Structure 1
Amino acid sequence: MTASPTWGAQPLGDGLWRFAIWAPAARRVALLLDGREIAMEAAPGGSWQCRVPARAGMSYLFRIDGRDLPDPAARAQLGGVEGPSVTVDPGGFDWGAGWPGRPLEEAVILELHVGTFTPEGTFAAAAGRLPDLAALGITAVELMPVSQFAGRRGWGYDGVLIRAPHPAYGTPDEMRAFVAEAQRQGIMVLLDLVMNHFGPFGNFLPGYAPQFFTDRPTPWGDGIDFNRPEVQAFFREAALGWLREYRLDGFRFDAVHEIRDGQDQRFMRELAAAIHALDLGHPVHLICEDERNLPHLREAGFDAEWNDDWHNAMHVALTGETQGYYSRFARDPFGDLARALARGQVDEGQPHPEEARGAEAAHLPWTAFVNANQTHDQIGNRALGERLITLIGDAPARVLHAALLCMPFLPMLFMGEEEGSEAPFLFFCDPPDEAGRAAVRKGRGAELTRIGYDLAGMPDPTGVEAMEVSRPDPPRDPERAGAWRDLTRELLDLRARRIVPLLKSGKTGIGEVTRHGARAFAVRWPFETGEIRMLLSLGAPATGAAALAEPDFRLGDPMRDAFGLEVEITG
């Protein structure tokens, strides 16, 4: 029996399967396969394994010191997170035609939550929306986490079974069918994967593998000991499994600054190398969220990082809100916007009254920055879940929408943004009992109050209403939504024809930004084969600016209107 740790139920061929779990605190472990108990053999280091005849669709549990528990690496569950797990053979799905993938420069990302993206909240229903997204020019969807969590509803960031698609969304094969349909439409599928913590409900690992965790918590739960090879194997096998078994085009890794291995994130760098070593027949794109603003992962195998600096500076400039993490951008938000337009990030290690943050990243390609005007985080972490358009109005939101899609950074929209949705997106979850619900209400209220939000009118985050009002489809005003879709389609057609070729030609320098009054900018981004010029007013006309010679797109008049934009593309 090998001492190398492996996890989960794996078909080996000829009807033989391997079942494995790391349970270093256990005295005895057995496999319950369709009700039959099979002894498992202990290997050095605390791993337990057995090889037995099995087939897809069989229920199983691990009996650990007399307690029957689900597989933490299960590919599917019969019901809730408490078990039983189900054997899944991913080789049985017919993918049909191959998929060559798409280069990162072509990415226009739509972040979506499967449970609220459609009225049905399933992979199958979401697949039905894909042709419309493709017709608009969306080339990638980023699924908020689908790893199974306790209850029926939730954002997905409290998953406890990392490899099992949440059953309320559909079966593993229904998720594969969603991916296959997206790729038939020319749309890449990225998965938001959470490896920095487990959810508070339904995580049984501490009982039989306390060594999985550290005594240093994350903001969302117990810290995970990424120094241990068994822990590294768990997450590495999960990530590689998602890619191999679901033909994904890549990941967005959540809050990698909380993946602490004490070795400058050696685990993440080695994971990127392992992913890029796979022969999947298409490119795999790796995006991370890292609040430290460091370029080191993007210099070591990662393609891009969520760039909250753009959003935060823009949000403060246009809304005047300075609570919580917005306070860092309160001194000079329009100056911060100018820096973000020129360099990508705002914070690059320069002195700051609060604390120096980040390191220089302007040497990276523009596609190393994923810019968004709003995400699930910034909308959902408000008491009433308001979108930006609700806070600033339709006309300013249209100009910001156009600017986002015409800048050289990778643009990301949040579901419904492509049609100007005003539907809120609230935080919601489904704890297993009243004690859990009370704890969530108390914690959520304290967090929002601490950063200055009034809780009046906030729906119960544990109730059904919070999820139901968060659905952007169907639009409340179909005619208005149609006009927004027309705008998105026009902008993305321009981006595909004129901007993407420039991105592929290569960046030749940082952006050149000229301020025209307090709230307007003229920007030039140079490339090997041409340039993008933008004149942008965000609250006051561009005083003394010269009109662009031959704009390829115009929305309002930035030299006369408080909110306006002109874009000229050469090359």
Structure 2
Amino acid sequence: MPLRTLETWPHGAIMLDAEHTRFALWAPDAFFVSVELENGQSLPLLPQADGWFVIKTRCKAGTRYRYNIDGEIEVPDPASRAQDGDITGHSIVVDPQAYAWQNSHWLGRPWNEAVIYELHVGALGGFAAVEQQLARLVELGITAIELMPIAQFPGERNWGYDGVLPYAPQASYGTPEQLKHLIDTAHGHGLAVILDVVYNHFGPDGNYLHRYAKGFFNEDKHTPWGAAIDFRQREVRDFFIDNALMWLLEYHFDGLRFDAVHAIQSPDFLQELARRVRDHVDPARHVWLTLENEHNQASLLEQGYDAQWNDDGHNALHVLLTGETDAYYADYADNPTEQLALCLSQGFVFQGHINHHGEARGEPSGHLPPNAFVLFLQNHDQIGNRAFGERLHQLAHPDALKAATALLLLSPMIPLLFMGDEFAAPEPFLFFTSHHGELAKLVREGRRSEFAAFSAFADPHKREQIPDPNDPQTFEASRPDLTAEQQSPVYQLYRQLLRLRHEHLVQHLPGTQALGADILGPGAVSARWRLGNGRQLRIDLNLSDRPVVHSPQADAALLFEHPPQSAGLLERGTLAPYSALVSLTAAAPLQPPDGERP
């Protein structure tokens, strides 16, 4: 594929100076394109090679515009930097230099320091409302917030994975300047900010690309959302790579999380994306690139990507904590303890193993460091994909959950929390949208049909009780109350564990190696890692309701125990039910080179 040249055009409305803007639209299936300005001007774009239409004209920041295709339809700019309201409104010319950064010196944080807090901007009230949570999150021990997708979607309520204008921050959350202010403020608190981006599909409502740029799609390959994005096209690749660079360079995001890359059917695109990002970002900056990837492609984690969300670890822990084995948990129904031990010692569970569909999944991952994996007990998917959005504390034994929380926050993997975890928030997190008409009906029926594979919803009448995603109350019910009492036992547990992580583990995570995990009994494992400073970290975990026999490590200092005083049982060779013990040994002596005496 040829490299991008000066003759190709960045997508969208690009300001050339304070008075002039270049409009560029890739529309290979259009005969005529004009830009319709809010003052009534209609300016024809000049056709260029390879399907581009371009014009340079006098046009200031804040100008509202739309494109007219063949005199038949007016559409928003697919690379709109902001919308005047919904996707049906005008696009807005944005000056990327208008915001005055207060923390321009910020270079990010090293990946080993990451403690990630995933949140939904809309559920918390918008960009300005999220700012109000930052000081509290720092006090808790969070070092990074991760925003679920914010690309402009139809309506005002959506998880964000139905975005259709990837360059435009969702208007109902705030302006581009308010988003930059949120990031700037976070940096002032020492917080990194990650953005979840969706490069595997466009949402079903408000996407007009099929009308004038069919080349965005490969009709021969399909994903759960329709025809696959066709990354064989140079213009398509640049559309998404430039989008990634915009978030990182213009908005100063500290990292991107790429959604469902297993649905991107051009493997070399991901390598190019990482390479282009690394080439364009100042090497002094810490920029994190993480993946969601059902294919468990360990090789990508050696090609510019820092880590992958470890669904395997979550799923094994979920089965052990809840006993649920429906649907995608079926792969973890028979041997969850063995699978948890494999996760703690090698990263992925599925490393070429056959899943319940009879398909091989994954690549060997034991050679990767533990911090190549993001571990979580909950995230937006694992709560929101439940019919009623229940949180884990409503499904698991409270002491077992506390023990699992110790594993989450004190293992060398990178921990991720979902908003409200730290309070055991009672509010659900449901699937919500704001579609209308026939699409709203299809989404409602599709949501309910998803649960036909779950035994609890085999009865169609029970599926009718699943909340309608388009009902505004479904969204309102999903908004957590983050003003809960910070002295609650759950909050204090998270705070204690994160303090221990920062004091004893974080600076020594580089160079950490897994030393293996032993199975102590059903639901019980003992995992060990050698930290970068030579000390050995050990976590003894029992998620079952029965004690298990185990031998203590004589030279280890206890870092954390749950329940309190459970270490006394361990000294007698017993690991208590629903318990976790975390210990550290002294640094191992360095081995002298061959032929030298110590």
Mean CA deviation greater in 39-48 or 444-453: 444-453
Cα shift at 1:3:
4.2
Q: Which amino acid aligns with 2:245?
A: L
Does residue 105 (structure 1) correspond to residue 112 (structure 2)? The answer is yes
What is the match of residue 62 of structure 1?
67
| Alignment partner of 1:143 is 2:147 | yes
Seen in structure 2, the aligned counterparts of structure 1 residues 379 and 449 have a Cα distance that, compared at 3 Å, is: same
C-alpha distance in structure 2 between counterparts of 1:309 and 1:213, whole Å: 31
Name the residue aligned to 1:461.
469
Query: With structure 2 as the length reference, what TM-score do the two structures score?
Result: 0.91
The answer for unaligned runs of 5 or more in structure 2 is 458-462, 588-598
**Aligned counterparts of 2:488 and 2:187: Cα–Cα separation in 1:** 25
> Does the aligned pair in 2 maintain the 1:324–1:452 contact within 8 Å?
no
- Provide the residue aligned with 1:188 in structure 2: 192
* Conserved? CA contact 1:371–1:412, under 8 Å: yes
Q: Deviations over 1:62-105 (max 9, x none)?
A: 11111211100001001110231001112010111320210000
Partner of 1:383: 387
Give the corresponding residue for 1:567.
582
Query: Aligned-pair distance for 1:541?
Result: 4.4
Unaligned runs of 5+ in 1: none
Alignment deviations for residues 7-59 of structure 1 (CA, whole Å, 9 cap, x no partner): 10111125221110101111101111232111111111111111111111110
Picking from 18, 32, 36, the partner of 2:22 is 18
Counterpart CA distance in 2 for 1:48 and 1:487 is 58
Alignment match of 1:499 (pick from 505, 528, 533): 505
TM-aligned CA deviation for residue 483 of structure 1 = 2.0
Give 1:517 deviation, angstroms.
2.2
CA distance in 2, matches of 1:36, 1:421: 52
Code of the residue aligned with 2:207 in structure 1: it is N
Conservation of the 8 A alpha-carbon contact between 1:107 and 1:140? yes
Structure 1 residue 162: deviation in Å?
0.2
Q: Structure 1 residue 50 and structure 2 residue 55: aligned? A: yes
Matched-pair contact (CA < 8 Å) for 2:18–2:61: no
2:171 aligned counterpart, secondary structure: coil
Matched residue pairs, number?
A: 560
Deviates more, 1:317-326 or 1:244-253: 317-326
* Cα distance in 1 between the residues matched to 2:315 and 2:108: 32
Distance 1:209 1:335 in 2: 49
Inter-partner Cα distance in structure 2 for 1:450 and 1:351: 20
Aligned to 1:539: 544
Matched, 1:269 2:275: no
8 Å CA contact 1:31, 1:61 repeated in 2:
yes
Aligned equivalent of 1:312, options 307, 311, 315:
315
Match of 2:593 in 1: none
Please give the alpha-carbon distance, in whole angstroms, between the structure 1 residues aligned to 2:508 and 2:367. 17
Q: For residues 132-175 of structure 1, what are the alpha-carbon distances to aligned partners after superposition, in whole Å with 9 as ceiling and x for unaligned?
A: 00011100111100001001101000000001111111111101
Q: Which amino acid aligns with 2:78?
A: P
Q: Which amino acid aligns with 1:90?
A: P
- 1:436 is displaced (CA, Å) by 1.6
What does residue 444 of structure 1 align with?
A: 447
Q: Which moved more, 1:20-29 or 1:384-393?
A: 384-393
420-429 or 302-311, which moves further after superposition? 420-429
Structure 2 CA distance, aligned partners of 1:560 and 1:230?
A: 59
2:337–2:525 Cα contact (<8 Å) kept: no
**Aligned: 1:200 with 2:204:** yes
CA RMSD for the aligned pairs? Answer: 1.7
Aligned equivalents of 1:538 and 1:312: distance in 2?
A: 14
Aligned to 1:398: 402
Q: CA deviation at 1:450?
A: 3.1
Report the Cα offset of residue 257 of structure 1.
1.1
**Alignment of 1:408 onto 2:418:** no
1:223-372 alignment to 2 at 5 Å? 223-261=228-266, 265-280=267-282, 281-350=284-353, 354-372=358-376
Which protein has the larger Cα radius of gyration, Structure 1 or Structure 2? 2
Shift in Å at residue 527 of structure 1?
Answer: 2.5
- Are the equivalent residues in 1 in contact too, given 2:249–2:281 (CA < 8 A)? no
| Residue of structure 1 equivalent to 2:424 | 420
**TM-aligned CA deviation for residue 434 of structure 1:** 2.2
| Conserved? CA contact 1:520–1:541, under 8 Å | no
Shift of 1:457: 3.5
Code of the residue aligned with 1:463 in structure 2: it is D
Three-state SS of the structure 2 residue aligned to 1:223 is strand
**In the alignment, what sits opposite 2:595?**
none
Q: Is the 8 A contact 1:3 1:47 kept in 2?
A: no
Residues 515 and 279 (structure 1), Cα distance of their counterparts in 2 relative to 1, 3 Å cut: closer
- Kindly provide the amino acid, as one letter, of the partner of residue 308 in structure 1: D
SS in structure 2 at match of 1:296: helix
Please tell me whether the aligned partners of residues 536 and 542 of structure 1 are also in contact (alpha carbons under 8 angstroms).
no
CA contact (8 A) 1:521 1:542 kept: no
Q: Is 1:90 aligned to 2:92, yes or no? A: no
CA contact (8 A) 1:20 1:49 kept: yes
TM-score after normalising by structure 1: 0.95
CA distance in 2, matches of 1:487, 1:424: 21
Give me the whole-angstrom Cα distance separating, in 2, the residues matched to 1:352 and 1:202.
37
Deviations 1:290-321 (A, max 9, x none): 10111121111011001100011111122221
Distance across 2 between alignment mates of 1:273 and 1:5: 20
Local SS of the residue matching 2:452: helix
> Structure 1 residue 279: deviation in Å?
3.7
Distance in 2, matches of 1:453 and 1:439, equals: 22
* Amino acid in the other structure paired with 1:551: L
Counterpart mapping for 1:213-224 below 5 A:
213-215=217-219, 216-224=221-229
* Contact 2:448/2:464 (<8 A) preserved: no
Aligned-pair CA distance for 1:379: 0.8
Q: Contact 1:517–1:541 (CA<8 Å) still a contact in 2?
A: no
Give the counterpart letter for 1:564 in structure 2.
Answer: S
How big is each residue's C-alpha offset from its partner over 1:273-301, in whole Å with a ceiling of 9 and x where there is no partner? 11111244521110011101111211110
Once structures 1 and 2 are overlaid, which stretch shifts more, 389-398 or 183-192?
Answer: 389-398
User: Aligned residue for 2:559?
Assistant: 552
User: How many Å separate the matches in 1 of 2:122 and 2:490?
Assistant: 23
Give the conservation status (yes or no) of the 8 Å contact 1:516–1:542.
Answer: no
Q: Secondary structure at the match of 1:374?
A: coil
Shift of 1:561: 3.1
Distance 2:430 2:414 in 1: 25
Question: 1:352/1:385 Cα in 2 relative to 1: closer, same or farther (>3 Å)?
Answer: closer
State the Cα distance separating 1:398 from its structure 2 match. Answer: 1.6
Tell me which moved more, 288-297 or 29-38: 29-38
> By how many angstroms is 1:420 displaced?
1.8
CA contact (8 A) 1:521 1:537 kept: yes
Distance in 1 (CA, whole Å) between partners of 2:369 and 2:516 is 15
State the AA in 2 paired with 1:472: P
For 2:509 and 2:526, locate their aligned partners in 1 and report how far apart those are by CA, in whole Å: 20
Letter in 2 for 1:473: D
Q: Distance in 2 between matches of 1:407 and 1:93?
A: 39
Instruction: Give the distance between the partners of 2:281 and 2:203, measured in 1 at CA.
Output: 33
Letter in 1 for 2:79: A
The 3-state SS of whatever aligns with 1:421 is: coil
Corresponding residue for residue 115 of structure 1: 122
Which residue identity does 2:581 align to in structure 1?
E
Partner of 2:87: 81
8 Å contact from structure 1 (residues 26, 64) kept in 2: yes
